[in-house]
Structure 1
Amino acid sequence: MQRPLFLPVPTCTCVLLVAACGGGTGAADTRSPSVPGGTTVQASSATSVHVMWEHSTDDTGVSGYEVFRDGTKVTSLPAATRMTDIDGLTPSTSYAFTVRALDTAGNASAQSAPVRVVTLEPAVEDRRPPDRPGALRGRADGSRAVTLAWVPSADDRGVTAYDVYQADSRIHSVPGTATTARVTGLRPGTVYTFTVRARDAADNSSPDSAPLDLTTDRAPGAGPDTAPTGFTAAIRRTAPSVHTVELTWTPPATGVPVREHQLFLDGRLATTIVWGAEPPPGPAKYTLTVTDPPGTRHSLKLRARLPDGNWGDFSAQRTVVVGD
């Protein structure tokens, strides 16, 4: 069987020259963004809360958000972020939170209606995390949202929150009494990999649930799905400080053999995998060596080069932990 060639990732340095322009004739932007709606605040532990809100709109574009606690700004966030955790609070204490939006001209919206929350009671010594959530399942709700559901976790002192992760980043949280979540703001025709973790009042988090891949509906008129499918990653120790990650996947159906893939490790291009001639039949395979300390997490995904020379859609993401 012919082995693939592995091409190193080229390094390049780009210099960007920006010319300053003066004498603009456009009118100054004095219009403020809309007030953020749908603000919710959830007590996550005795010393932290989770704040979420809906996006604002603006004629020139929202540049970010500011979160206030009892009238005092506590954090600033970019426009793409609509949730945050506020730590360092006092147990069993009432707080009011508001959010406002900023645009690219520095105009600020009014603050949202205040939402009051009481932090949880002080937790006794608790180092035991909840059990992992079970039977994660879900469906795509059109092209920009999904709905998830899971079997609740057990904890010796009670689950206070469930955190939804996508590509190893927390994107949503719901109270510990909930077993469903709706995630919005997604892209059409994109495969997403979700996991859920349970959290208790001492901020102990459970292991990840089993991953769930969901693909949002493609936009009208969009072409066929070009993501590799059936992507798996298994990690094995091959020496005292060396592990190998064994990858398998099925290239997208393009009508001709797919000879080239890009592999991304932790969001960065790691290598390009090329078959010089006819690719081997059946699922594609590749082995990656890692030498990180036990407990290190790695995320992996890949995409194929299409017959027209463009890169296709990304596969689902897989996460491996060194030492598992």
Structure 2
Amino acid sequence: MRRVPPRTWLPRAACAAALLTALTGCGLFPGDDGKAAGPALSEPVGVTAQAGSATSVHVMWNRPVSTTDVTGYVVYRGAARVQELPAERHMVDVTGLRAESRYVFTVRARGKDGALGPASRRVTVTTPAAVAADGTAPSRPAGVRGHVDGARAVSLSWRKAADDRGVVSYDVYQGATRIHSVGGARTRALLTGLRPGTAYTFSVRARDAADNVSPASEPVRLTTARGKDDGPGTAPDDFRATTRRADGAYFLELAWTPPETGGEVPAYQVFLDGRQATTVMWGQGAPSGTARYSFYIGAEAGVRHRVKIRGQLPDGTWGAFSPERTVTTGR
């Protein structure tokens, strides 16, 4: 029987992005200030961009996973530098944009030596249509509820706010500080990266295309669980695994629904028989509906395998594992 060498497939854009990140992180590409990027400084994680109005975009990110000291961040729109921020800032409103226009944002961290690290993943956003003069803010979001999802996450939900021109986004506040934004079509947000056993107070405000902001919703007070539980709400849903035979070999066919995080899930780790087998990276255009992935697992029939996956959350951390499935080649 002809043996087929192990193969895995990643989308072409994801491979290119991964290669670019690797080269930049190794100092082969200099920073735009002429200094080589430090090899130990990794890219910011959990980067998201949400249109806040017809002329503004709210960009958010989390610090790099590397232990290198970070002194600041640089936010780019395409190739243009638009904001430089201190290390304690992890979000910014980019204003002065055009309505009904597509923009791509990335973020780079600056190390204590002044060098810029590699660029984050690219995030794409399209601003909504401009509106005529509008001085009326949306109504206050009502029916805000929340529940704790383990030690590091909480989930919030609310009813749609009313606005004469339409709600573009919802801003989530922790106390008086805005910490998250989701699109106007969403009425749910998963907040991750919280501290175990800690009390939090959250509220929600609606924003329209003219940048009018509603009054804050009633506050929701939640206390995260103690311990290290990731929370089942961060796990991929409806996870399925089957095998198929092709070209004299067996392939594992996976399908699942992304967890509802309030943003894209750009990557998944696949664990086979207790060990990480591969990382599936979509980069731009991560699926919001059913996701599918296939990879080679061997040429022998009757082999039993265990498989499970977990997704990368918007804050860059890894969520909870899906249920583990068992498959046997040739059945």
TM-score by length of 2: 0.54
Distance 1:81 1:218, change over 3 A: farther
1:255-305 deviation per Cα after TM superposition (whole angstroms, max 9, x unaligned): xxxxxxxxxxxxxxxxxxxxxxxxxxxxxxxxxxxxxxxxxxxxxxxxxxx
1:30-109 equivalent positions in 2, closer than 5 A: 30-109=38-117
SS at match of 1:53: strand
Distance, in Å, in 2 between the alignment partners of 1:81 and 1:181 is 21
Distance 1:77 1:143, change over 3 A: farther
**Number of residue pairs the alignment of both structures matches:** 192
1:174-213 equivalent positions in 2, closer than 5 A: 174-213=182-221
1:112 paired residue number: 120
Q: Is the 8 A contact 1:33 1:107 kept in 2?
A: no
Work out which of the residue numbers 213, 224, 234 in structure 2 matches 1:216: 224
Q: CA deviation at 1:149?
A: 0.7
1:169 paired residue number: 177
One-letter amino acid of the structure 2 residue matched with residue 156 of structure 1: D
Distance, in Å, in 1 between the alignment partners of 2:116 and 2:149 is 33
Task: Name the larger-Rg structure.
Answer: 1
Distance, in Å, in 2 between the alignment partners of 1:106 and 1:69 is 21
Distance, in Å, in 1 between the alignment partners of 2:204 and 2:38 is 42
Q: Is the 8 A contact 2:45 2:65 kept in 1?
A: no
1:18-42 deviation per Cα after TM superposition (whole angstroms, max 9, x unaligned): xxxxxxxxxxx94332122342222
| Percentage identity across paired residues of the two chains | 52
Give unmatched runs, 5+ long, in structure 1. 1-28, 221-324
Work out which of the residue numbers 160, 163, 166 in structure 2 matches 1:155: 163
Q: CA deviation at 1:219?
A: 4.3
Higher helix proportion (structure 1 or 2): 2
Distance 1:180 1:122, change over 3 A: same
Q: Is the 8 A contact 2:38 2:111 kept in 1?
A: no
One-letter amino acid of the structure 2 residue matched with residue 197 of structure 1: R
Point out which structure has higher relative CO (alpha carbons under 8 A, 6+ apart). 2
Distance, in Å, in 2 between the alignment partners of 1:30 and 1:172 is 30
1:156-214 deviation per Cα after TM superposition (whole angstroms, max 9, x unaligned): 11110000011111010000000111112222222111110011101111111000101
One-letter amino acid of the structure 1 residue matched with residue 81 of structure 2: K
1:77-97 deviation per Cα after TM superposition (whole angstroms, max 9, x unaligned): 333432221111122233221
Distance, in Å, in 2 between the alignment partners of 1:56 and 1:35 is 5
64-73 vs 156-165, which deviates more?
Answer: 64-73
Structure 1 vs Structure 2 CA RMSD: 2.0
SS at match of 2:161: coil
Distance, in Å, in 2 between the alignment partners of 1:57 and 1:101 is 11
Where in structure 1 do 4 or more consecutive aligned residues deviate above 6 Å?
Answer: none
Give unmatched runs, 5+ long, in structure 2. 1-36, 229-331
Q: Is the 8 A contact 1:32 1:102 kept in 2?
A: no
